Each structure stands twice: as structure tokens, then as C-alpha cells.
Structure 1
Amino acid sequence: MFEGLQDKFQEVFRRLKGEGRITEEHLAAALKQIRLALLEADVHFRVVKEFLARVEEKALGGKVLESLSPAQQVIKIVHDELTATLGGEDARELKMDGAPAVLLMCGLQGSGKTTTCGKLARRLAARGRYPLLVAADLQRAAAVEQLVQVGARVDIPVLRPEPGESVVALAQRSLREARERGRDVVILDTAGRLHVDQELMAEIAKIAATVSPDEVLYVADSMTGQDAVRSAQEFARVLPLTGVLLTKLDGDARGGAALSVRAVAQVPIRFVGVGEKPEDLELFSPARMASRILGMGDVMALIEKAQETVDAKEAQRLAERLSRNEFTLEDLRDQLRQVKKLGSLKSVLGMLPKMGGLKGLG
């Protein structure tokens, strides 16, 4: 995640730490390197310009140049401004006041919307909710079957369209079905569409007007960079978007979408997809994401992942057997299976401070 950007920030900070005293010339050189790194990462040019202006103003306007450890203060300023650029405050949990609550998922085709619906449903079920997935993509061949498979994987029921049923009628019926089945959250997996397709955009606007969703989430592929940001902007003009859900952040994403979407589209990032497993969905935290980008790790994310994926009773049983010298090869196998649930070695190392350089081992 953001490895290229992370490496370049680390190089800038190494050079600053090597200076006994940081002058305005040193700071200007560092900001130039940061500017190039951000532009290469496909961050929107306006976001880069405003970010650097704030960093320079705070660095020169305070007591940084006379500080005993000026490099550390510059790093803190960069971290704080990255956090502000990403949205400042941690994303709130989903608003679900309806009976049932309705989550309308939208986005471009191929953004990972259907698998993300499954991840979101699993997350809600783990927190005591009873979601119903609705196959509202009537445009793509096999889209309904794909959602059925996703639903089976996370043990969540899926509502299929009836022959000849329109997507608006399906959305209306899903509310009745949810009440009858005792389901308190409806997740509508709509068809992927381009913002220039006026007919499909009018259709999803009609769906939103019909079901009055509690949340309208735009699912964006972070690999597409600025295209994801521009599309989110256009969708926000048609729909009352309440947030963006970024997918594929575990891939070769350069970081442009994550760093730009909040500032450009004026829509907060709510969740990020960080892997292919059903549990690989995280509530977005600007401060923790800034720490990852700067190579400072994210220990809290590792702790939360362990709490969600590791069987506490099984871990306790293995610990007790180890303390009694009864640990066998079968126990070792079970323990390794538990560790494997945390994800790849690469992803785990990425969450640990100062371990980013070892991620190539994964």
C-alpha cells in the first residue's frame, strides 16, 4: 500500500535527519522532493499545492528552525497536514436509522462493488445486524449469480430479481422482504455505470428517490487514481453521496485517489478494502493512514484485525498447552493457521513501525 510514496517520504526524512540544523534551503529542497513524489503518485495538483503551502507555512512560521530536533518537527507537520488532507477526523460508522436501514452502493463497473457489498454485509453481521443483499445489477451478465456466491461465502441471504422486474420495483420489494424476513439492513448492489451514461444515472437517481437510503456509498477502485476522483465528483452531482469506499488498497495503488478524493470531490472516505478476504474491510482513519504512508505503521489496525480474525478461545488453549509443555506439532499447525488469518507477511509488516523496508519478504 503506497509503497512508492512511502519510500520517497522516508528518503526525504532521512536527509533531513542527517542535517544538524535545517535551514530554509533544506526545507525548500525537501518540499520539492515531496511535491514530485505526490505528483508521481497521481495526487491532484491542487491538493499538492495546498498541502505544501500549509506545510511550509507551519514549518517557517513556528519554532522549527531553532528546535533541538527540527527534522522530527517537520515530520510531525507533514503527518498532521496529510491527516487533514485525508479528512481529519476518523470516519463514523454507518448511519442506519431506517427500518430497515438502506445502503445504496454505486460506482463504475469493475470497481469491486459486488465483493465489497459482501464484505460490508459480513462486517455488519459481526456487529449484530441482520443484512439482506439485493442483486440490483440487471445490466451485467452473471451479476446476480456473482452476488449469490458472495452472499454464500459470508452467510448472508441474497434477494434476486423476479423475471421482468425493474430495478426500481426490486428496490421497493427489498424493503418489504427485509421486514418479512426480520432483516434490519438492506444493501443494494446496483449496476456499474459511467457518469456520462445519462439513462443509467437517471435510473440510480430514481432508485435513491424511491427507497430514501440512509447511506449512499460510492465504491472506487484506488488503482484508477484521478479517474476515481473525477467519477466520484460526477456521481456526487446526481446522488446525495455520504461517502467513498476505496477498494484494492492492497495492490499497487499509487495513493492519488486516497489523498485527493476528500479534498476534490468533497466526499469523505468511509471504508477501505485492503485485501481479497471477506474480513479485509477497514473503517477509514486519516491519522492512521497518514502514518502508513509515512512508514510509521499502524499497530491499532493490526490489533483490530487480530481481534476480528483470531479465535480467542483457541489462542488461549494453545497458550495453556505451551505453558504446560504439552505443545505438539498439531498445536503448531493450529497456531500457524491462526497467524495466517492476519494476512500476508507483507501486510503485517506494513502495519509495524519501521518495518516497511522488510515488506519485500512477503
Structure 2
Amino acid sequence: MLEKPVAESPWWRSLSNPRLLGTRLSSNVELLINFIVVVATIVFILSQGSGFGIRIAQLFAIFAILAVSLNLVIGYTGLLSLAHVAFFGVGAYSVAILTTDAAYEQVPGHIPHFGLSFFTALFVGMAITGVVALFVGGVLSRFRDDIFVLVSVGFAVISHRIFLFWQPVTRGPFGIHAIAKPEVGGMVIDSRLEFLFLTLAFLVIVFLISWLIVRSSFGRVLMAIREDEQAIEVFGYKARYFKLTIWVISAMMAALAGGITASEQTFIDPQSFVLLESILLVTIVILGGLGTLWGSLLGALVFVLLNEGMRFVPFLPGELIGQARLAILGIVIVLLMLFRPQGLVGRFKL
């Protein structure tokens, strides 16, 4: 005879249990602090009214979308993927190519002329990325653990080579210029501040969708797969189906970030989608915390502030800033793994 499930205790019953009350209060306080830190930082940056401040906020929003989407795969499902930058690149190139029209100066060769609007190209690019992710995920789902990581690295490297050498479509090392800006109601979103608000709106949508996923029964199955995939198979769940589904959703979110980045910068080239970018994205997720969406936001914020803050170190020569950023970020990660391996607000270790 099956035992009757135990219902979750309502909040008021925790008042009689000091340990449960302390856990709830600690979790709520931690969540509130993270929210206040993220919002206060964004408000402060925007209140400065400077182009640099807006640029910082724009970078945060893009990295936050990428980190939240990647956390769905790494933190909630337990799949350590280094292929996220490939989907980021597919989304960026899709928007760049699909918005190109006949007035574009072609050097060298010829790329197709579609002339689609930004939003149409963005959603088509996400669909294209979803198809690519479905194919790649079907291959990757055959592997586990270390082999899965290695194959994902291989896909990231292959995608970069395609961006670099498929010149009739991507223009290779020359990149694609004059990428179209979004239009809303016949008005072109051209200013940095307007584009930032658009990006933040997309970030809110991505965050809410991710939150609904992890709070649903589908999300609970993902977390069960992370803990013990074989056990979840015993109960009749097809783990491969769940992993492939969240893989495709995560990839389409990365493509969204790629399309926004391409339009905001109006130029892309293959060097923006190297393997190192995937490693940095994984670092952001670990920094914020695995299995927590708020941690992804906080990790993106800390990463951007550390990365861009290096510009203001007075004794550091300009030519060494790039190397110093990576070195300091590496030191931060080492210290984090030593003293708080679950990340700033995470609950699980890698």
C-alpha cells in the first residue's frame, strides 16, 4: 500500500520549528539581498547617464541571458556544456545575414539578401538555432560525463571554423557590417539607452520563462536527472527526452542574446565566438551558483564589474588589460572553489 504524500508545511508552522524558521529566513534574506544588489547596481549605472555606464548595463543584460540559459543545462540538469557560444554565434549570424539587403556593400564575395526586419530575423534565427541544437543534442545525448564535455568542446570549435571559413555566407574574417537595428512602430531603436531597455525586457522574459520551467514538474524531473539519471529512468521517465528539450530551449535563449548583440554592435566576426567565451560563460554560472537563477544574474553582474573595472587600474598598462582580466578572474574562481565551491548563492557543487 502506497503511503500518502506528506503535504508541504504552510509557512506559519515554521514558527514552531526554529531550525525550519531559520532556514526559511536565511533563504528569503539571501534572495532579497541578491535582488537589491542587482537592481541597485543597474539603477546606479543608469543614473550616471554616461555612455560607459549604459555599456556596462548592456553587457550585464547579455551575459545574464546567457548565464541564465546555460544554468538550465549545467545547474539544473547536470550537463557540463561548453557549446553555448556556438548557439550564441548561430543566433548572431542568423540576424546579421537575414537583415542584410541589396544596398549592403559586399567585400568579398556575395552573401544572400533577405532584408528581413530585426524581430522577424531574430525569431527565425532562434528557430534555426533550435534545429541545430536538436541535431547536436541528439548526438551529445549518446554521451555522458567527460565524453559529453569533450564532444561539446568539439562542436564549439567546429562552429567557430564554420563562421571563419564559410565566406560566401559569413564573410569569414571580414565579418558582417551594417546589421539592421530594431524598429518598433516605425521608429528605429538607435540610441544605446533605448537598446538597453529592449535588452532588459528580453532578459525579464528569459528569466520568467526559466523560472516557470524550474518551478514546473518538468523542472523537477530535470533536477532529478541531475541527482540520479538511472533512478529517474526506473520510474518511466525518458531522461534523454528531457535533456534534449532543455538543451534546445537553452540554445534558443543563447541565440536570442546573439541576435541582440549583433544588432546592438552592428558588426560581428568569428573572433567573438571562440571557445574561450564558452569557458567564461561556464565561469559566470559557477561564480553565481549552480541551480539558482538569481545566482546567474549575480554572477553576470560580478563578472562584468570585474572585467570592465580593470580599465581603471592606474598601474596596469593598456596592452596587459586583457591578460590581467583573465588572470584575476582565474584567481577569483580558485578562491571561490576553495572557500565556497557552490558559488555566491548556489546550493550545489560542480
TM bin, normalised by shorter chain, reads: under 0.3
Q: TM-score, normalised by structure 2?
A: 0.28
Q: TM-score, normalised by structure 1?
A: 0.27
- The structure with higher relative contact order (CA 8 Å, sep 6+) is 2
The structure whose residues are more often strand, as a share, is 1
The structure whose residues are more often helix, as a share, is 2
